[in-house]
Chains A and B, each alone.
Chain A
Amino acid sequence: RKEVEQDPGPFNVPEGATVAFNCTYSNSASQSFFWYRQDCRKEPKLLMSVYSSGNEDGRFTAQLNRASQYISLLIRDSKLSDSATYLCVVNFRGSNYKLTFGKGTLLTVNP
């Protein structure tokens, strides 16, 4: 089983739509969780950390379910500028400062 698995995508949605990405991780002893955004041919950029209680940043909401080893990202009122690849990232406990990246899910928001 892969350590971090994401929805394969791609997702194509109209502007204004709500879209949700899911991610599962294999190691229950995981320490911290993140969503990164990567634009085409650019570096990944931190979108948000994911906290146990769930957290929201504007149109973006991240949830963590440790029992199910599951992370989600919800984007409301999608904008054209949200088009990017979204990477699920996990820091496994004892991994010695290493992060494990999912392969990413490509989102295209259409006018």
Chain B
Amino acid sequence: DGGITQSPKYLFRKEGQNVTLSCEQNLNHDAMYWYRQDPGQGLRLIYYSQIVNDFQKGDIAEGYSVSREKKESFPLTVTSAQKNPTAFYLCASTLDGHEQFFGPGTRLTVL
């Protein structure tokens, strides 16, 4: 089955630690995205990548980093510089820049 996978589903981290969230897709989509969602809030764009080895900052990139070494993979690192990292993180991809398809998300909690 084609789709987007994210792991882990739940993640706990101590303050001051970096953590990397995985996102993999086998849809052969060129563009991939990372969003953050807080309770009762809309989705906010963190980073996106239209092609391999290239990515752009979204609206709230501070405290995050990404890489795009393979078409299928777009990992997100939440660094210790991110002041309020507890949130629901969603990865998405698109073939043609129109409809985006989402992975199941990772819930990050900072203890």
Instruction: Please report A residues at the B interface, Cβ cutoff 8 Å.
Output: 32, 34, 41-46, 49, 87, 91, 96-99, 101-104
Contacts and interface: CB of A to CB of B under 8 A. Distances in A.
Interface string B82-98: 00000010100010011
Shortest beta-carbon contacts, A-B, top 10: A43-B102, A103-B42, A97-B97, A101-B43, A101-B42, A97-B31, A43-B105, A32-B98, A46-B99, A43-B104
B102 A102 contact: no
Interface string B67-110: 00000000000000000000010100010011111111100000
Q: Which range contains the number of B residues in contact with the other chain?
A: 20 to 34
B50 interface: yes
A98 B101 CA distance: 13
Most buried by B among A42, A101, A102: A101
Contacts of B42: 87, 101-104
B18 interface: no
B105 A42 contact: yes
Nearest to B96: A97
A44 B102 CA distance: 7
A99 B41 CA distance: 16
A42 B50 contact: no
Contacts of A103: 40-42
Contacts of A44: 43, 90, 102
